[in-house]
């Protein structure tokens, strides 16, 4: 408790790190956050001069994969950062916390840092019965409410805290709730994924510490800096998609060539995450690179968004790329013309989708189910429009060969 | 006078664990183990496409991540009669082996070691002495004076900064710590080393499964296609990387982990007689060298040993309806047939019914259901599962690699075979298993490469991929040896969907409440007679429970009889 006022920089120096290592970390974070060099300087300054961020870390209904992911942080300094960048006042998994003294530590940390601490939550909170998750004889909800009261902001780690994840999947037997549905009355950042990528977790905290504000969020509460682009748009197999080159069955000749996994149910086209950019476990791979489609784990309610291996158009509420497939199938005789048309409608639709998602940045007011239903309606309307456009395009293309025309596609 | 101590939460694989213990005359006379969290994943798995279920049930645990996914694809394949190609079987072995090694190492150093190792004492060590001891133990290249000096400096700065963080409030100086400073310093150095190596080992899972935690699996094989002449599949660059990681892991297991455990064990002779518990062991066996259905090809055999009697290995049949049953008499679940019947998991039910005290509460009433964990029994017996169970069963079955390594290690420690039935035995078994698996990893890798060399690139069997090829009804089961012990999954498929899904996981065996006969399960049994030097600082309880590998670092809450806080400690 006697560590108030020490900055992250001083902390690192005290731990025997060099200034060079410190700057390297700042550069890395800046790079990850997409900042210019002035932005990096801001990070350096903030970490040098600001006291460490008090953090209280809670665990509820979860499988601890978020903490495990955290341990796999790729940069050598990050590993220490995760323990030192923040001033971990309370963590019912990592820290000593027992009976009255634990309560004292928690109460003291909340009191001393009232209104200033960051509450981080791993796991969902069951509302079905207070007995579904208890810690030291208290219900998860009670412990959550106490923590949220004095928090400046809340970071929800992983899909459990962001949208309920596995335990909230139908029929949600314990009525597991994500953080934002518990009405914490505080800003919430959803660091999505099952689990989130460790470097993303560190990046969100650094952003908050550096700029004294939460990163800009999308309409599901995720930081745009890491969740602003679809996996589909950043995937190294994307050219195969655009060229109509698909894996038709796992382990077929196309799979061996590394073609697009779209037809194997890849959810990359409607999943926003950094897997294809930052990759996993120190840039080793990501699901698609290892031959399996994305399962969409950074999206709300992904467990109930249809079977994993169903190609996306079949998914209720989403109509993404449906026309692309139809065109591809309908124009096999004139394959290249088909591909061109395919690319055009794909991008038309993508533009609208991205626009829909970014226009509406209102955190915690969206009910996810309603949101999906609304999105479904928008997509239906969009599909109708695209059907019209497709007819036009097909007339225009005439099924002919137009190798120089892919640039016709509307710019986003 | 009996002193009641509550330890809550003692987090574990799936979440939260609570221990209530009665201490009399410096010894534990009774103990109750409670799982305090439920999620109902077996219910959620119903009505899903059976090919998807590996992902759902994989989320049971993110620490021994991937094991539930593995046993799930095996169960669905068993139901649908799918045989996976040899390459897929080897890739699965490599993934299971990598996870087990990573998990054992992380458990020992990050979670368990500080029950035995005094960090503060390491400050008093002479790095020269540490280096000399370490060099006598193994040829690990970092066993130098300079290295240990540097580590000591790091700890010193850490302590001087008064920011003890995760090391704070522990029982440094407790008389139950027996290691000399030089050995403490070695262990602390390797604590830091282990943080790095564990990140490396899981990369094997990332290469084949795309990410870790929660890598991807596939019913019918694996999704990672092999193409030694292509840039976008498992090629020689990927395979060489895997081999490199195996070597790294092997070196750490053989030159650091096992030598450390042997050194530490030698200072705790009394703990080779404490914490044994049930002495009934169950192992489901794993690491098939041909195919999962070929039990004879398993590296680790299946069977049970009861009452410490290592002259007989009895059969374990996971499908025996008379043999394997789960009770809910002391759990917050209902069965339609009533509270006191036992059901085989293939006909099991998961109906939540919380009847415990309304939170907040100080104590649970143990005369009524007191846990979210069902109570499994085999032929009426409680069984321990985990690395020790695997060693006892394989030793009894005269499985050569197990017997040789066990004999060698026990000889070094000058201990009889009976010493395995203890807290030290459980810890030693885990480290010996890490060494055994590191040898097997080389074999799995070689077999995979040899098979590819023969021209067999197959990684997936598509015959029964399409639901139209499935029967109207199918029933399957499968087992797996997860790091913490035997896991069994049972699946009923009807009309292309999962009708019923039941899991019997290691913690169900070990941490469950009492059965209708009042028999204790492994956790509760292992705590009996454990001496507690100071009821206000029962390091011994944590030490014993941690030998079972109850997962992440635990914060332990202790209450005295009147509900007042007794003491706090850090079990990290």
pLDDT bracket for residue A380 (50, 70, 90): low
Specify the pLDDT at position B290: 96
The total number of residues written for chain B in this structure: 572
A121 within some domain: yes
CB contact under 8 A, B207 and A130: no
**Which sign does the torsion angle of CA B28, B31, B33, B34 carry?**
negative
> How many structural domains is chain A composed of?
2
pLDDT bracket for residue A99 (50, 70, 90): very low
Distance of CA A89 to the CA centre of its chain: 26
Contacts of B163 in chain A (CB under 8 A): 3, 6, 11, 14
Tokens read off for A209: 């510490």
Specify the pLDDT at position B11: 37
Q: Is B72 on the interface with A (CB under 8 A)?
A: no
pLDDT bracket for residue A79 (50, 70, 90): very low
pLDDT bracket for residue A38 (50, 70, 90): low
Q: What percent of chain A has pLDDT over 90?
A: 42
What is the average per-residue pLDDT within A157-182?
A: 96
Tell me how close the Cα of B478 comes to any Cα of chain A, in angstroms: 22
Considering only residues B124 and A14, tell me which one the structure prediction assigns the higher pLDDT: B124
Q: Helical H runs in B107-210?
A: 127-137, 145-160, 181-201, 203-209
Q: What percent of chain A has pLDDT over 70?
A: 60
Minimum-distance CB partner of A65 among B62, B556, B564:
B62
pLDDT bracket for residue B107 (50, 70, 90): confident
**Interatomic CA distance for residues A164 and B53, integer angstroms:** 18
Q: Is B144 on the interface with A (CB under 8 A)?
A: no
* Mean of all residue pLDDT scores within chain A: 74
Specify the pLDDT at position B248: 97
**Interatomic CA distance for residues B23 and B6, integer angstroms:** 11
Range of the domain at A129: 53-227
What is the average per-residue pLDDT within A126-139?
A: 90
What is the average per-residue pLDDT within A102-126?
A: 86
A217 within some domain: yes
A146, A111 Cβ separation under 8 angstroms: no
A340 within some domain: yes
What contacts B400, CB < 8 A, 6 or more positions away?
Answer: none
The total number of residues written for chain A in this structure: 412
Considering only residues A199 and A232, tell me which one the structure prediction assigns the higher pLDDT: A232
The CATH architecture that domain B3-114+197-570 belongs to is: Orthogonal Bundle (1.10)
Specify the pLDDT at position A123: 94
The verdict on A201 and A284 lying in the same domain is: no
Specify the pLDDT at position B549: 82
Specify the pLDDT at position A196: 96
Q: Is A2 exposed, middle or buried (0-12, 13-18, 19+ CB in 10 A)?
A: exposed
CATH number of the structural domain spanning residue A277: 4.10.480.10
Interface test with B, best of A54, A99, A195, A277 (most B CBs within 10 A): A99
The verdict on A161 and A120 lying in the same domain is: yes
Place of tokens 């004889």: A137
Specify the pLDDT at position A88: 72
Chain A residue whose CA is closest to B19: A136
Considering only residues B36 and B458, tell me which one the structure prediction assigns the higher pLDDT: B458
**Interatomic CA distance for residues B464 and A215, integer angstroms:** 47
Tokens read off for B208: 């084949």
Tell me how close the Cα of B400 comes to any Cα of chain A, in angstroms: 35
Interface test with B, best of A14, A134, A139, A196 (most B CBs within 10 A): A134
Last residue of a domain, one of A211, A227, A243: A227
Cis before A195? omega within 30: yes
The verdict on A186 and A59 lying in the same domain is: yes
Cis before B360? omega within 30: yes
Considering only residues B538 and A401, tell me which one the structure prediction assigns the higher pLDDT: B538
A4 within some domain: no
Specify the pLDDT at position A46: 67
Specify the pLDDT at position B165: 52
Contacts of A287 in chain B (CB under 8 A): 209-211, 216
pLDDT of A173 higher than 60: yes
**Interatomic CA distance for residues B211 and B338, integer angstroms:** 43
The 10s digit of each residue's pLDDT in B446-494 is 999 999 999 999 999 999 999 999 999 999 999 999 999 999 999 999 9
CB contact under 8 A, A96 and B230: no
pLDDT of B390 higher than 90: yes
b (16+ CB within 10 A) / e for B7-17: bbbbbbbbbbb
Specify the pLDDT at position A93: 54
Q: Is B192 on the interface with A (CB under 8 A)?
A: no
Tell me how close the Cα of B469 comes to any Cα of chain A, in angstroms: 15
The 10s digit of each residue's pLDDT in B324-355 is 999 999 999 999 999 999 999 999 998 999 99
Specify the pLDDT at position A402: 31
Q: Please identify among residues 524-553 of chain B the ones whose CB lies closer than 8 Å to any CB of chain A.
A: 551-553
Specify the pLDDT at position A176: 96
The verdict on A94 and A205 lying in the same domain is: yes
Last residue of a domain, one of A227, A248, A273: A227
The verdict on A222 and A308 lying in the same domain is: no
A37 within some domain: no
Tell me how close the Cα of A170 comes to any Cα of chain B, in angstroms: 6
**Interatomic CA distance for residues A193 and A165, integer angstroms:** 9
The verdict on A198 and A79 lying in the same domain is: yes
Lowest mean pLDDT among B5-9, B392-396, B545-549: B5-9
Contacts of A71 in chain B (CB under 8 A): 106, 195, 198-199
Q: Hey, how many other C-beta atoms are within 10 angstroms of the C-beta on A239?
A: 11
Residue B279 zone, left/alpha/beta (φ > 0; ψ -120 to 50; rest): left
Place of tokens 């991937």: B66
Tell me how close the Cα of B571 comes to any Cα of chain A, in angstroms: 7
What is the average per-residue pLDDT within A376-387?
A: 57
Contacts of B62 in chain A (CB under 8 A): 62-69, 195
Specify the pLDDT at position A5: 59
Q: Is B568 on the interface with A (CB under 8 A)?
A: yes
Query: Which of B553, B374, B557 lies closest to B11, judged by CA?
Result: B553
Contacts of B363 in chain A (CB under 8 A): 137
Considering only residues B171 and B417, tell me which one the structure prediction assigns the higher pLDDT: B417
Specify the pLDDT at position B550: 66
Place of tokens 């999620």: B39
**Interatomic CA distance for residues B103 and A52, integer angstroms:** 31
Specify the pLDDT at position A139: 95
A5 within some domain: no
pLDDT bracket for residue B533 (50, 70, 90): confident
CB contact under 8 A, B39 and A250: no
Contacts of A67 in chain B (CB under 8 A): 62, 552
Tokens read off for B92: 């699965």
Lowest mean pLDDT among A283-297, B142-156, B293-307: B142-156
Considering only residues B355 and B564, tell me which one the structure prediction assigns the higher pLDDT: B355
Interface test with B, best of A256, A263, A305 (most B CBs within 10 A): A256
User: Domain limits of chain B?
Assistant: 3-114+197-570
Tell me how close the Cα of B344 comes to any Cα of chain A, in angstroms: 22
What is the average per-residue pLDDT within A370-394?
A: 52
Most confident of A35-39, A95-99, B555-559: A35-39
The verdict on A358 and A251 lying in the same domain is: yes
The verdict on A103 and A133 lying in the same domain is: yes
Minimum-distance CB partner of A309 among B51, B154, B565:
B51
The verdict on A243 and A364 lying in the same domain is: yes
Last residue of a domain, one of A161, A195, A227: A227
pLDDT of A369 higher than 50: no
**Interatomic CA distance for residues A368 and A372, integer angstroms:** 6
Specify the pLDDT at position A355: 39
Query: Which of B345, B292, B241 lies closest to B96, judged by CA?
Result: B292
Specify the pLDDT at position B559: 32
Contacts of A73 in chain B (CB under 8 A): 199
A33 within some domain: no
CB contact under 8 A, A292 and B212: no
Tell me how close the Cα of A140 comes to any Cα of chain B, in angstroms: 9
Specify the pLDDT at position A379: 54
The 10s digit of each residue's pLDDT in B185-243 is 999 899 888 888 998 999 999 999 999 999 999 999 999 999 999 999 999 999 999 99
The 10s digit of each residue's pLDDT in A301-348 is 999 998 999 998 743 333 344 333 343 333 333 333 333 344 444 544
Tell me how close the Cα of B198 comes to any Cα of chain A, in angstroms: 8
**Interatomic CA distance for residues B12 and B61, integer angstroms:** 10
What contacts A159, CB < 8 A, 6 or more positions away?
Answer: A165, A166, A192, A193, A194, A297, A298, A302
Contacts of B462 in chain A (CB under 8 A): 249-251
pLDDT of B500 higher than 70: yes
Minimum-distance CB partner of A284 among B207, B223, B356:
B207
Three-state SS for B485? Answer: strand
The verdict on A220 and A253 lying in the same domain is: no
The verdict on A304 and A384 lying in the same domain is: yes
The verdict on A206 and A298 lying in the same domain is: no
pLDDT of B386 higher than 90: yes
**Interatomic CA distance for residues B530 and A239, integer angstroms:** 64
Is the entire prediction scored with pTM above 0.90?
no
């Amino acid at each position: 408790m006697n560590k108030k006022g020490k900055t992250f920089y001083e902390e690192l120096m005290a731990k025997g790190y060099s200034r060079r290592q410190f700057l390297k970390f700042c550069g890395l974070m800046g790079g990850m956050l997409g900042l210019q060099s002035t932005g990096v300087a801001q990070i350096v300054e903030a970490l040098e001069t600001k006291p460490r961020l008090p953090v209280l870390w809670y665990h509820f209904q979860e499988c601890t994969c978020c903490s495990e992911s955290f341990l796999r942080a790729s940069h050598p300094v990050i590993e220490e950062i995760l323990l030192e960048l923040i001033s971990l006042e309370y963590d019912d998994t990592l820290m000593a916390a027992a009976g009255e003294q634990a309560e004292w530590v928690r109460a003291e940390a909340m009191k001393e840092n009232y209104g200033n601490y960051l509450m981080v939550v791993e796991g969902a909170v069951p509302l079905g019965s207070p007995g579904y998750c208890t810690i030291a004889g208290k219900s998860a909800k009670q412990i959550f409410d106490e923590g949220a009261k004095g928090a400046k902001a809340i970071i929800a780690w992983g899909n459990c805290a962001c949208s309920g994840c596995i335990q909230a999947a139908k029929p949600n037997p314990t009525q597991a709730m994500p953080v934002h549905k518990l009405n914490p009355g505080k800003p919430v950042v959803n660091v999505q994924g099952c689990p989130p990528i460790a470097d993303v977790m560190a990046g969100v905290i650094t952003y908050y510490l550096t700029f004294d504000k939460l990163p800009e969020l999308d309409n599901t509460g995720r930081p745009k800096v890491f969740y602003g682009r679809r996996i589909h748009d950043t995937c190294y197999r994307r050219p195969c998609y655009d060229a109509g080159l698909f894996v038709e069955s796992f382990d077929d000749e196309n799979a061996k060539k590394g073609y697009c996994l779209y037809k194997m149910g890849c959810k990359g086209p409607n999943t926003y995450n950094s897997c294809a950019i930052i990759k996993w476990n120190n840039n080793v791979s990501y699901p698609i690179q290892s031959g399996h489609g994305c399962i969409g784990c950074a999206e709300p309610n992904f467990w109930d968004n249809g079977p994993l291996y169903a190609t996306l158009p079949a998914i209720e509420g989403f109509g993404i790329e449906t026309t692309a497939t139809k065109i591809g199938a309908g124009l096999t005789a004139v394959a290249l013309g088909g591909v061109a048309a395919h690319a055009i409608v794909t991008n038309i639709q993508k533009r609208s989708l991205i626009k829909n998602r970014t226009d509406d940045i209102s955190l915690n007011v969206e009910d996810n189910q309603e949101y999906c239903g609304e999105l479904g309606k928008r997509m239906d309307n969009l599909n109708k429009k695209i059907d019209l456009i497709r007819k036009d395009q097909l007339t225009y293309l005439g099924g002919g060969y137009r190798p120089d025309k892919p640039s016709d596609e509307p710019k986003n | 006078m009996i002193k009641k101590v509550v330890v809550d939460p003692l987090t574990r694989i799936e979440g939260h664990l609570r221990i209530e213990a009665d201490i009399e005359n410096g010894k534990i006379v009774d103990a109750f183990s409670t799982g305090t969290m439920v999620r109902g994943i077996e219910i959620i798995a119903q009505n899903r496409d059976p090919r998807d279920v590996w992902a759902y049930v994989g989320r049971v645990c993110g620490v021994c991540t991937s094991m539930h996914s593995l046993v799930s694809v095996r169960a669905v394949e068993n139901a649908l009669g799918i045989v996976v190609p040899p390459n897929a079987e080897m890739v699965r072995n490599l993934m299971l082996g990598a996870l087990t090694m990573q998990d054992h190492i992380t458990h020992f150093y990050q979670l368990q070691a500080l029950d035995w190792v005094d960090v503060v004492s390491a400050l008093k060590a002479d790095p020269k002495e540490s280096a000399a001891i370490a060099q006598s133990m193994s040829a690990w290249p970092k066993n130098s004076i300079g290295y240990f000096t540097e580590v000591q400096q790091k700890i010193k700065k850490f302590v001087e900064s008064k920011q003890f963080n995760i090391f704070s409030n522990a029982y440094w100086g407790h008389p139950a710590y027996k290691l000399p400073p030089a050995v403490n310093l070695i262990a602390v150095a390797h604590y830091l080393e282990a943080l790095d190596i564990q990140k490396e080992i899981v990369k094997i899972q990332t290469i084949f499964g795309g990410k870790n935690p929660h890598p991807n699996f596939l019913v019918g094989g694996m999704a990672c296609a092999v193409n030694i002449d292509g840039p976008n599949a498992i090629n020689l660059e990927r395979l060489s990387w895997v081999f490199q990681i195996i070597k790294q892991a092997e070196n750490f297991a053989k030159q650091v982990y096992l030598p450390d455990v042997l050194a530490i064990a030698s200072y705790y002779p009394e703990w080779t007689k404490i914490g044994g518990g049930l002495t009934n062991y169950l192992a489901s066996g794993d690491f098939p060298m041909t195919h999962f259905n070929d039990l004879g090809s398993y590296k680790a055999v299946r069977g049970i040993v009861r009452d410490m009697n290592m002259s007989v290995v009895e059969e374990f049949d996971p499908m025996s309806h008379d043999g394997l049953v789960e009770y809910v008499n002391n759990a917050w679940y209902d069965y339609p047939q009533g509270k006191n019947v036992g059901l085989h998991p293939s006909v099991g039910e998961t109906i939540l019914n919380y009847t415990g005290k309304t939170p907040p509460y100080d104590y649970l009433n143990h005369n009524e259901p007191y846990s979210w964990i069902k109570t499994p029994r085999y032929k009426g017996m409680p069984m321990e599962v985990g690395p020790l169970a695997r060693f006892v069963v394989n030793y009894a079955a005269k499985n050569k690699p197990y017997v040789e390594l066990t004999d060698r290690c026990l000889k070094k420690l000058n201990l009889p075979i009976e010493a395995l039935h203890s807290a030290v035995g459980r810890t030693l078994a885990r480290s010996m298993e890490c060494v055994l698996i590191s040898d097997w990893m080389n074999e799995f890798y070689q077999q995979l490469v040899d098979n590819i060399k023969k021209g067999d690139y197959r990684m997936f069997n598509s015959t029964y991929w399409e639901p139209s090829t499935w029967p109207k009804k199918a029933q399957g089961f499968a087992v797996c040896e997860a790091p913490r012990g035997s896991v069994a999954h049972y699946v009923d498929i009807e009309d292309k969907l999962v009708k019923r899904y039941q899991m019997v996981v290691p913690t169900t065996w070990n941490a469950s409440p009492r059965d209708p006969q009042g028999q204790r399960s492994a956790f509760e049994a292992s705590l009996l007679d454990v001496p507690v030097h100071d009821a206000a600082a029962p390091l011994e309880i944590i030490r014993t429970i941690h030998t079972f590998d109850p997962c992440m670092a635990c914060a332990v809450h202790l209450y005295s009889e009147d509900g007042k806080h007794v003491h706090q400690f850090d079990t990290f």
